[in-house]
Amino acid sequence: MNRVMDKICLVTGAASGLGEACARLLAQEGGTVILTDINDIQGHKTTQEIKDTGANAIFIKHDVTNEDDWKSVFSTILETYGKIDVLINNAGGGTYNDVETLSLQDWKNIIALNMDSTFLGTQMAIKSMKDTGGGSIINMSSVGGLVGSPNLVAYSAAKAGVKLFSKSVALHCGAHNYNIRVNTVHPGLIKTVSGMEMASKATGLSVEDAETAFAAMHPIGRIGKPIEIANMVLFLASDESSFATGGEFVVDGGYTAQ
């Protein structure tokens, strides 16, 4: 259907999980996709599989917490394609701790992985997009950024930060008539390796039993699939979402409706 035909799309954390699903779907819908990740072996593998479908894709090794890596990713994109249309700040994650057991270093690492990354990517994308007609920035938050979780204390703080950072940036871009839209996506539990590890730690159950336990917490009666998040990201990346900015797009099987 070519819903993002000819758009230049950067997806971070794209070697696996939700980022991989987003990269595959954007490529399928006509986008040129730049996949980045710290895991270069898996990143190259995923990228090659996308290229084998006839789509345009490249892989760049990238630690999203590192400013120099961001500069190098953007200079490669701008030298190769001349612009960026879509940025998906997807790479993120957390550790399973409450406020009494979390170390300061783990707190800083989680804030860096989820928030420094989103700040750096968003700032660089705006610098380029404002001169090339605009674009769409999609920042991956979580239901953990909407409601508290006693044992995901730093992750919840970081993902809530991503949400209000994104709204503030959306207002800034609107005020300057940049034609840059900024939105967040808030998944419930989605079946990825790290999603299931987190679920297993949270319940003290095996991955299989944790899936059953978490299915019961989602009113729809199951946990989510990566493609169900990628479908929302595709909508926000495409011009179909032209009136959406500063929004929080919840895709959680009803988890936060309760």
64 forms part of the interface with ligand NAD (CB under 6 A): yes
Q: Helices marked H in 85-150 — which ranges?
A: 104-111, 117-129
Nearer to ligand NAD, 149 or 179 (CB): 149
Region of 35 (left: φ > 0; alpha: ψ -120 to 50; beta: rest) is beta
Q: Which stretch binds ligand NAD (CB under 6 A): 24-32, 85-93, 164-172, 201-209?
A: 85-93
Nearer to ligand NAD, 17 or 31 (CB): 17
Q: Which of 96, 155, 178, 255 is catalytic?
A: 155
Q: Which of residues 15, 50, 88, 182 is near ligand NAD by CB under 6 A?
A: 15
10 forms part of the interface with ligand NAD (CB under 6 A): no
Q: Which stretch binds ligand NAD (CB under 6 A): 15-23, 50-58, 123-131, 163-171?
A: 15-23
* Beta bridge partners of residue 37, listed in sequence order: 61
184 forms part of the interface with ligand NAD (CB under 6 A): no
- For residues 23 to 62, the per-residue mask of contacts with ligand NAD, x marking binding by CB under 6 A and - elsewhere, is --------------xxx----------------------x
Q: Where are the beta strands (DSSP E) in 66-170?
A: 86-89, 135-140
210 forms part of the interface with ligand NAD (CB under 6 A): no
Considering only residues 151-180, where is the footprint of ligand NAD by CB under 6 A?
Answer: none
* Beta bridge partners of residue 185, listed in sequence order: 140, 249
Scored b (16 or more CB within 10 A) or e, 152-176 reads bbbbbbbbbbbbebbbebbeebeee
Phi, psi of 9 (to 5 degrees): -120, 125
3-state helix, strand, coil split of the chain in percent (to 5) is 50, 15, 35
Q: Is 79 exposed, middle or buried (0-12, 13-18, 19+ CB in 10 A)?
A: exposed
Nearer to ligand NAD, 195 or 253 (CB): 195
16 forms part of the interface with ligand NAD (CB under 6 A): yes
Residues 6+ apart with CB under 8 A from 156: 142, 144, 145, 147, 148, 149
18 forms part of the interface with ligand NAD (CB under 6 A): yes
Phi, psi of 91 (to 5 degrees): -55, 135
The question of whether 81 is a catalytic residue gets the answer no
Q: Give the active site residues.
A: 155
Q: Contact positions toward ligand NAD, by CB under 6 A?
A: 12-13, 15-19, 37-39, 62-65, 90-93, 113, 140, 142, 187, 189-190, 192-195
